[in-house]
Amino acid sequence: MTETALPASRASRARISSRAWRGAAVPAALVLGWLAFVDSGVIRTPLLVPLRTILGAPFLDPDGRQIWLALAASLGRVVAGMAIGSTAGVALGIALGLSRPLQRSVAPTLHTLRQIALFAWIPLLTAWFGTGETAKVAFISLSAFFPAFLNTEQGVRAIPRAYWETAAVLKLRPWRRVTKMVLPAALPSILIGLEIALLTAWIGTVGSEYAIGVGRGVGAFLVAARELFRMDLVLVGVVALALVGYAFNRASRRIFSRIVTWRDR
């Protein structure tokens, strides 16, 4: 059993790594092209900055070094907003999935609110909470809330009737019914919701900092860099954004794939 499993897993690992290399082909070509045309001086324009300047800026440039503080501020915010928004989303999704009357009275409102473009909330939130930390965290919570809520609600509603009947026949108490049946049964769907919520929370973080513009953060760093016409710093901000988003995605997939270990039937 293990003798046959070993070469197979090695082969599949080789396949995965070759796929990963193919996925890296486009970014690699972009870097090479950048080096060949911009760094070499073939193209000279203030809009494009040599790669070495971009990579050096976070360490060598006094303004560029601000990116680290900005990054710390943004990460703090995304954690707070994600925690609030996704907790509320999962809780409400379960409550609505469990209670038909609650579903009928609350779901239409939530599904209508979801139609409002996320950034349209910013004027309202700044009017309510000012331009400080509260408005930003409220906005990030809102961006994390909807994916978490929608996927949880859908996951609970998709639980097969056989499970509900089993819970009924066993006379499970309400709390036990949630922890031993509803949550695990809806868990794959909830985790997908959390994965999307984390990414939208990150977009919401940078978006709120960019749109509200006061205080520290990667979004505010981008605004400041653009106003100073420091293209090197703008690109530093963009790279930081992308790397964090990529890291979130990889980390959440890796963690979540270890949570659901059982197999149906």
Q: Considering the complex, what minimum distance in angstroms separates the CB of residue 88 from another protein? A: 25
Choices 60-68, 82-90, 147-155, 163-171 (CB under 8 A): range interacting with another protein: 163-171
- What would the two tokens of residue 67 be? 């990116």
Contact 134, 76 (CB under 8 A): no
Of 169, 227, 254, 258, the residue at the interface with another protein (CB under 8 A) is 169
Cβ partners under 8 Å of residue 155, min gap 6: 93, 97, 185, 186, 187, 188, 189, 190, 193
CA–CA separation, 200 and 89 (whole Å): 13
Binding of another protein at residue 165 (CB under 8 A)? yes
Choices 69-77, 117-125, 180-188, 199-207 (CB under 8 A): range interacting with another protein: 180-188
Choices 33-41, 73-81, 176-184, 202-210 (CB under 8 A): range interacting with another protein: 176-184
- What would the two tokens of residue 223 be? 């605004």
Of 131, 180, 231, 238, the residue at the interface with another protein (CB under 8 A) is 180
CA–CA separation, 28 and 216 (whole Å): 32
Q: What is the DSSP letter of 42?
A: S
Binding of another protein at residue 263 (CB under 8 A)? yes
Choices 41-49, 174-182, 204-212, 218-226 (CB under 8 A): range interacting with another protein: 174-182
C-alpha separations of 199 from 75, 100, 144, 248 in Å: 12, 30, 8, 7
List contacts with another protein (CB under 8 A).
162-163, 165-166, 168-173, 176, 180-181, 184-185, 187, 262-265
